[in-house]
């Protein structure tokens, strides 16, 4: 597919319908070759849902949501790489909230949870670390023994909390800015766009 075909495909995908709406409000497509560098870039459509919205631009800021999991995982692996913690170390030595983790066995006839104290330690390597809920109000029983199962949850937030505590209680955003976003030239990445007026002006709704 050549450049003209890509241009047309993107424009068709974001075209305004007869009723004024768009199937896809706006989008940008960028292709980079490791040897040649930038080989294609185009933005099309609107960056807002309103009928008279601002055109979608290549420098528009989009909400990347669950990409936080990837970047937090990188931060956790940097902690391992720097010797701050091992993959098989018990994270409850740092995350004291999990010193007495409990595992849910089921519920009794009256609907009360049946629990037992976790036999295995929670580690960065164990998949269970990533399904434990985050923060003080979320220290609920585990669904599996650590390392023996996995379920979707907010445990990646605990990995972020681990990174913070291993690095002098710096905020996760500050850590990522210094150790990941900054070195990679990701100057338009933040947890708090409301605190960055220049970014807010390019926000995609």
Query: How far apart are alpha carbons 11 and 34 in whole angstroms?
Result: 27
Q: According to the model, what pLDDT value does residue 185 have? A: 93
Lowest mean pLDDT among 6-15, 48-57, 60-69, 85-94: 48-57
Indicate if the pLDDT at residue 136 is higher than 60.
no
Query: Which DSSP string corresponds to the chain?
Result: --HHHHHHHHHHHT-B-TTS-BSSSEEEEEEEETTTEEEEEEEEEBSSSSTTPPBP-TT-B---TTHHHHHHHHHHHHHHHTTSS-TTS-GGGT-GGGTT-EEEEEE-TTS-EEEEE-SSPP-SSSGGGGTSPPSGGG-PPBSS-TTS-----STHHHHHHHHHHHTTT--HHHHHIIIIITTTT-TT--S-GGG-HHHHTTB--
pTM to 2 decimals? 0.79
**Active site includes 50?**
no
Residue with the larger pLDDT of the pair 175 and 2: 175
- The pLDDT tens digits of the residues spanning 112-135 come to 999 999 999 999 988 655 555 545
Domain positions in the chain are 3-58, 67-181
Given 5, 46, 66, 126, which residue is catalytic?
66
Q: According to the model, what pLDDT value does residue 57 have? A: 93
Query: How far apart are alpha carbons 132 and 155 in whole angstroms?
Result: 4
Mean pLDDT of all residues in 155-171: 93
Assign 161 a pLDDT band (cuts: 50, 70, 90).
Answer: very high
Mean pLDDT of all residues in 171-198: 93
Q: What percent of the chain has pLDDT over 90?
A: 53
């Amino acid at each position: 597919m050549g450049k003209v075909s890509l241009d047309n495909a993107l424009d068709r995908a974001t075209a305004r319908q007869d009723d004024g709406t768009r199937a896809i409000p706006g989008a940008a497509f960028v292709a980079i070759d490791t040897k040649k560098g930038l080989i294609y870039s185009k933005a099309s459509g609107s960056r807002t849902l309103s009928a008279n919205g601002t055109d979608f631009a290549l420098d528009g800021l989009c909400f990347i949501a669950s990409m936080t999991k990837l970047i937090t995982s990188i931060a956790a692996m940097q902690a391992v790489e720097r010797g701050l913690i091992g993959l098989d170390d018990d994270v409850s030595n740092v995350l004291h909230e999990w010193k007495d983790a409990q595992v849910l066995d089921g519920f009794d006839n009256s609907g009360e949870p049946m629990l037992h104290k976790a036999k295995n330690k929670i580690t960065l390597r164990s998949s269970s670390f990533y399904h434990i809920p985050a923060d003080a109000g979320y220290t609920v029983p585990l669904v599996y023994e650590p390392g023996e199962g996995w379920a979707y949850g907010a445990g990646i937030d605990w990995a972020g909390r681990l990174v913070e505590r291993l690095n002098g209680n710096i905020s996760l955003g500050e850590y990522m800015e210094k150790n990941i976003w900054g070195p990679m030239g990701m100057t338009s990445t933040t947890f708090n766009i409301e605190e960055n007026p220049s970014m807010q002006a390019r926000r995609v709704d």
